[in-house]
Structure 1
Amino acid sequence: MTVAVVPEFDWQGAAGGEADLLGLLHFGMPAAPPTAAPQLRVAAPMLAPALAWQAGWRLDGEPSAGHAGRVHYRCADGLLFGVLTVAEADFAAADPATALQRATTHAYTEVFACADALAHPRLLRVWNYLPRINQVEFGLERYRAFNAGRQLAFSASGRTLTGEVPAACALGSADGELAIAFIATTGRPRAVENPRQLSAYHYPAEYGPRSPTFSRAALLQHGGGTLLFVSGTASIVGHRSVHLGDARAQTVETLANIEAVLTEAGRVGGERFAADSLAYIAYVRHAADYPAVRAEVEARLGPRAAVAYVQADVCRAELLVEIEASGGHPIRGWNP
């Protein structure tokens, strides 16, 4: 019998070999070389620590691998990592006004089909990247069209729209297709909310025809430990964006929200996560704001914290920074 172990987050991606890699995220230029492991190439420039950055998840042993429809996946130890991209153009002929929504529904339908077929039915974490995320097309912001498509897929698959939903983020990409990476599991994740914020799935209708389908964080008991995934987090209190136009103040508020999520995760899961022990990705809308954002992050987490900085648009046009995190795992290859 194989005993599951806590996966490692590898700050150096495929550089340490691919045999035990579950999957990869790649940001920046130059473009990522092909890998046997599933790899999501995100069209977003890096601000630090390098012009290109690739991070991945490693397991103890070689995962099984394959393709299911558009999904390229690897799985082992009760964890499934998959990636797929979908071109909106494939859905534009019938009705251009709903192309993104239908592309999103199709993508998530494939995600669920893959997860169900491989008996890893519960989503733990999802990364979503789409071009022109804040652009209004046919009277609707693209992020809101994406939310509609995502919720429709959750509903059609019989999955819940509230409560035990996965941690997630949705960011803008410079170009390309709708790109999604996900981790699904045979285990039972526990959703975590933030008492400082209204749950995203309860947002009022002013934020779009269908609410976002994600939790503020997700916990999973795995390999004798507890994995934590903190969703993309921004300067939102209740359901309102705050500190408009001030990237420094938005960063402070974002980190306060993450601290609140960590406190709630400790209450839900019984394990306290120290903020400076996590691995972070900070998305900064304007490169000019990067020094201020980094200064506030380091003031609160310390200069040795594992933080990568990516330039990307955030899910609301008025938000200037979004930060995600993961914890409960070793961080390999981080040299501050």
Structure 2
Amino acid sequence: MNYCEKIHYAIYTTGVDSFELMADALLAQLPQDGHILRLVFFGTPVDNAQYVARRAILHDKVRELFADCRPVLSYVSQPALDGKLTLEVHSYRADDTDRIDYRMNNGFPYVVLENPDGRFLFAGGFHCDIMTFSIQQQSVEVFRLVSEVLHREGFPIENIIRQWNYIERITEFEGFDQHYQMFNNVRSNFYKQAAWSNGYPAATGIGTNLGGVLVDIDAAVFTRPGCFATPIDNKLQIAAHAYSAEVLEAAHEQKATPKFERAKSMTFDGRKLIYISGTAAIRGEESLTDVGFERQLHITMENIAQLIDRAQLKMLRVYLKEKKYYKEARELLNNYRLNIPIAYMCADVCRNELLIEIEGIAIG
């Protein structure tokens, strides 16, 4: 078996209870037939003080459960729409060709997987401890933490394959500067350290109602010719990193484009894993407005189909701008007969006119 057959994704939800009991109920469902690489919790704290307290509770529970083999842990402040608390799990069924090491840097657990195909890094939960800092200041600190782990483990910046970027109140402004644009400017400055000769990472930039700035990454260094990464364009869209200034929001210092590819694949001989970036109803570089929610969802799924070709979807995250679209979104996606884990969250999308954004993972 190769990487594509060993990596697995699951989503669990739970009903209303105390936060600790909900967390316990989700952790009790973890798969027992593999190594847990990443845990992503989605929930709704009432303020940043409660967010920090609940994040600490999750870390304590995961430390108790996994001891020195703690997976990457992130707590995303987004209302889960198909349960009060949602957990996404990335796991790996290793064989005797794999070595998995659980490590820690500045209190952030991360995982290194090594096998004959290469070395693979799963890291994240990166955040700034000072929530009163501006989004720009928090972003600088977060990318410093990312850089530390990459440097410590010998992963060049340009070997980030997938990045998840969560930004509190993403479309709001601090003075003249929009939160997402500030984040993009800091990310662009960080990325200037690399040549990116093989394209940027696949990525999602999505809003949260609390939690400041939070970043997760997957990275890979391949060691044989049959294994490699490939950026994927959508012929129906302009690459995000090539956007014109007209679709970027105001920023006092600079106006950098979002540095990501529409998707990025990892090939292992005849198999391929595709990371699908956050995808919305954009054609060219313009949002499709005044077409209604149903049309936006179908255009988003058409964009995803362009990216994955004949590969099969394995998991989706669906971000809805308003909770009122949840029932309709479920009904519309049920018509696609995907039979895969799908998580639904309420979150601000990076453009005010977009009602839905979808990301996912496919294997072909």
Q: Same fold (TM over 0.5)?
A: yes
| SS of residue paired to 2:301 | helix
Q: How does 1:1-336 map to 2 (within 5 A)?
A: 6-12=6-12, 14=27, 15-17=30-32, 20-28=35-43, 33=58, 34-35=61-62, 36-48=70-82, 50-61=83-94, 63-69=100-106, 71-77=108-114, 78-87=119-128, 89=130, 92=133, 99-121=134-156, 122-155=159-192, 157-160=193-196, 164-187=199-222, 188-206=228-246, 207-208=248-249, 209-222=255-268, 225-244=271-290, 246-263=292-309, 272-274=310-312, 277-299=313-335, 301-302=336-337, 304-328=339-363
Given the superposition, is the C-alpha separation of residues 53 and 91 from structure 1 closer, same or farther in structure 2, using an over 3 Å criterion? closer
**1:324 is aligned with what amino acid?**
E
Question: How far apart, in 1, do the equivalents of 2:320 and 2:306 lie?
Answer: 21
Q: What's the offset of the Cα at 1:90? A: 6.7
| SS of residue paired to 1:27 | strand
| SS of residue paired to 1:11 | strand
Q: What's the offset of the Cα at 1:159? A: 4.1
Given the superposition, is the C-alpha separation of residues 70 and 241 from structure 1 closer, same or farther in structure 2, using an over 3 Å criterion? farther
Q: What's the offset of the Cα at 1:7? A: 1.2
Give the count of matched residue pairs. Answer: 308
- Note the alpha carbon deviations across 1:29-67, whole angstroms, 9 max, x for none: 69673312221111111112x222212221234731222
Question: How far apart, in 2, do the equivalents of 1:84 and 1:280 lie?
Answer: 20
Q: After alignment, is 314-323 or 67-76 more displaced? A: 67-76
State whether residues 9 and 91 of structure 2, in contact with CA within 8 Å, keep that contact through their aligned partners in structure 1: yes
Q: What's the offset of the Cα at 1:91? A: 8.0
State whether residues 162 and 217 of structure 2, in contact with CA within 8 Å, keep that contact through their aligned partners in structure 1: yes
Given the superposition, is the C-alpha separation of residues 3 and 220 from structure 1 closer, same or farther in structure 2, using an over 3 Å criterion? closer
Question: How far apart, in 1, do the equivalents of 2:326 and 2:231 lie?
Answer: 31
Same amino acid, percent of matched pairs: 23
Question: How far apart, in 2, do the equivalents of 1:73 and 1:18 lie?
Answer: 20
State whether residues 279 and 327 of structure 1, in contact with CA within 8 Å, keep that contact through their aligned partners in structure 2: yes
Question: How far apart, in 1, do the equivalents of 2:169 and 2:100 lie?
Answer: 35
Question: How far apart, in 2, do the equivalents of 1:3 and 1:135 lie?
Answer: 43
Question: How far apart, in 2, do the equivalents of 1:223 and 1:183 lie?
Answer: 20
**2:319 is aligned with what amino acid?**
Y
> Structure 2 regions of 5+ residues with no counterpart?
13-25, 46-53, 63-69, 223-227, 250-254
- Note the alpha carbon deviations across 1:238-266, whole angstroms, 9 max, x for none: 00010347222111111111111123xxx
Q: What's the offset of the Cα at 1:70? A: 5.8
Given the superposition, is the C-alpha separation of residues 243 and 252 from structure 1 closer, same or farther in structure 2, using an over 3 Å criterion? farther
Q: What's the offset of the Cα at 1:113? A: 3.1
Question: How far apart, in 1, do the equivalents of 2:79 and 2:332 lie?
Answer: 21
Q: After alignment, is 9-18 or 102-111 more displaced? A: 9-18
> Structure 1 regions of 5+ residues with no counterpart?
93-98, 264-271, 330-336
| SS of residue paired to 2:81 | strand
Q: After alignment, is 17-26 or 52-61 more displaced? A: 17-26
Question: How far apart, in 2, do the equivalents of 1:291 and 1:63 lie?
Answer: 40
User: Which residue is 1:95 aligned to?
Assistant: none
| SS of residue paired to 1:189 | strand
